[in-house]
Amino acid sequence: MTPSPEPPLASTPGAVPSLEVKGLAYAYPDGTQALYGVDVTIGRGERVALLGPNGAGKTTLVLHLNGILNGGLGEVRVGGLQVDPKDKKSLREIRRRVGIVFQDPDDQLFMPTVREDVAFGPANLGMRGAELDRRVRDALGRVGMLDVADRPPQHLSFGQRRRVAVATVLAMEPEILVLDEPSSNLDPASRRELAEILLSLDVTVLMVTHDLPYAAELCPRSVILSGGVIAADAPTRDLLTDADLLKIHRLELPFGFDPAAALR
């Protein structure tokens, strides 16, 4: 395993954070309280893993980042802009700034060719011609998928489709890339290739994952969400070497994985 490089990463001092979540509390319409006052700030250029057991509130938190869920207490700001579901114009900008890559790439790819899928978002923003081509080429180049631009997404492997899904989001030049279980269902080579791609991107990342070695490799910082509250927020190295903390929050390292050795 490649140890996490030291942050190139470190958020720029004084810069507006990519993400600020303050006092976020939310109950679903059936009364289930999923979040109880979540505070987290992610600086520009940071890569942060969001860890936590099933039912912790991770999805609920992510769905607040671009206003899909709303109506609770607290506030969310992306690059300084407040998520306000009543303001349709600013919500459009929020959705450009928050690039969510869902677990199943097939939820994100629906056009006849890869190129059209990647062009879809920027074209919706009104981009055309050479500028649009540049966006598409740039996004596909960043995930190493330029050579499949004219193929139908459904003819690609699962790993390639996930990379294209990342490109559809990168084409929007997001403020923050939110990845939901990016390593799920990938074979070891595809998993490693995606890690190399993610490490090469110059973008703020929030990665929801149960794959603790992947968090160790990619994210210098991790946040544990448990029972709807932030239970820990610290260097990934410190969290993954705290056996009691992991146990309390039902987080398990794979057999034989030694975080202290991997993150020396």
* Binding residues vs ligand ADP (CB under 6 A): 28, 30, 32, 34, 52, 54-60
Nearest distance, CB of residue 209 and ligand ADP, angstroms: 11
CA dihedral 64, 70, 75, 81 (to 10 degrees): 70
Task: Give 52 or 174: the residue with its C-beta nearer to ligand ADP.
Answer: 52
Residue 200 CB coordination number (10 Å) = 10
Nearest distance, CB of residue 28 and ligand ADP, angstroms: 3
Nearest distance, CB of residue 122 and ligand ADP, angstroms: 29
DSSP 90-136: HHHHHHHHEEEE-S-GGGT--SSSHHHHHHHHHHHTT--HHHHHHHH
241: its two tokens = 């070497």
Task: Give 70 or 90: the residue with its C-beta nearer to ligand ADP.
Answer: 70
Nearest distance, CB of residue 44 and ligand ADP, angstroms: 25
Nearest distance, CB of residue 230 and ligand ADP, angstroms: 13
Task: Give 30 or 147: the residue with its C-beta nearer to ligand ADP.
Answer: 30
Task: Give 55 or 144: the residue with its C-beta nearer to ligand ADP.
Answer: 55
Query: Strand 33-42 vs strand 204-208: parallel, antiparallel, or unpaired?
Result: unpaired
Task: Give 59 or 190: the residue with its C-beta nearer to ligand ADP.
Answer: 59
